[in-house]
Structure 1
Amino acid sequence: MSAFLSKLLLEDATNIDDGQWIVAAPFIYQSDVAGQTFTVPVGFQTDLASVPRLPIVFLLTGDTSREAAVVHDYLYSTHIVPRNVADAVLREASAVTQVPPWRRWLMWAGVRAFGGSHW
């Protein structure tokens, strides 16, 4: 069963780069979709969900699943799974944190449509 096996601990990294966060303890996620467990290491830098700051877009999808966003950023930076799997993990991990289905779909559709340039 998909689950976060540790708590997300972040440190503000604005002294390094605005809007950035640093993982302060190993962050572990077990994914059924990917069939493996991922460990985001201490020191990994993330911007959480890269949602455009357009009022409606951010209102609908912004700051809704930090845990899923950190795992997704890690998968995008390491390429340890194919992009479509990384995006499916985002949707799966968002479900684990109780993000409503409509919002999970919007986040997934956004990364499928616009995430390619970050891959």
Structure 2
Amino acid sequence: MSRFLTKLQLEVADNTDDGKWVLTAALIYQSDVAGRTFVVPRGFQTDLASVPRLPVIFLLTGDTSNQAAAVHDYLYSSHEVTREMADAVLREASEVTGVPAWRRWLMWAGVRAGGASHWEPAGT
């Protein structure tokens, strides 16, 4: 059964207003869709759900699934799985945290449509 094994613990990454957060403890997520457990390490920086701040888009999808977004950001930076799988894990983890199906679909569609520019080869 997919589930978070730890809680998301964050603090502001620095004194600037760039929307970055740093994990103060590891975030552990057990994923059925990926068939494995992911460990987002303490110290990892995330912007959580980087949803455009356009009023309607942010209202519908922003600030709704921070745990899932942190795992997704980690998978996009670590390349432990394919981009397609990382996006599937986002949708799955959002369901685990109680995000409604319509909102999960919007978030997933958004990362499928716009996430390619954030998917860079590891080590670049």
* TM-score normalised by structure 2 residue count: 0.94
Aligned to 1:35: 35
Aligned to 1:26: 26
Moved more, 29-38 or 17-26: 17-26
Amino acid of the residue matched to residue 12 of structure 2? D
Q: Any idea what SS the aligned residue of 2:74 has?
A: helix
Note the 1:7-86 alignment, pairs <5 A.
7-15=7-15, 18-86=18-86
Moved more, 28-37 or 11-20: 11-20
Aligned to 1:99: 99
* TM-score normalised by structure 1 residue count: 0.98
Identity %: 75
The 2-side partners of 1:53 and 1:81 are apart by 28
Aligned length: 119
Structure 1 residue 16 displacement after superposition: 5.5
Amino acid of the residue matched to residue 74 of structure 1? Y
Q: Which runs of 5+ in 2 are unaligned?
A: 120-124
Runs of 4+ in 1 over 2 A off after TM superposition: none
The 2-side partners of 1:83 and 1:53 are apart by 24
Structure 1 residue 14 displacement after superposition: 3.8
In the TM superposition, what whole-angstrom CA distance separates every residue of 1:9-33 from its partner, at most 9, and x where no partner exists?
0011142661000000011000001
CA RMSD of aligned residues (A): 0.9
The 1-side partners of 2:32 and 2:48 are apart by 22
Amino acid of the residue matched to residue 97 of structure 2? T
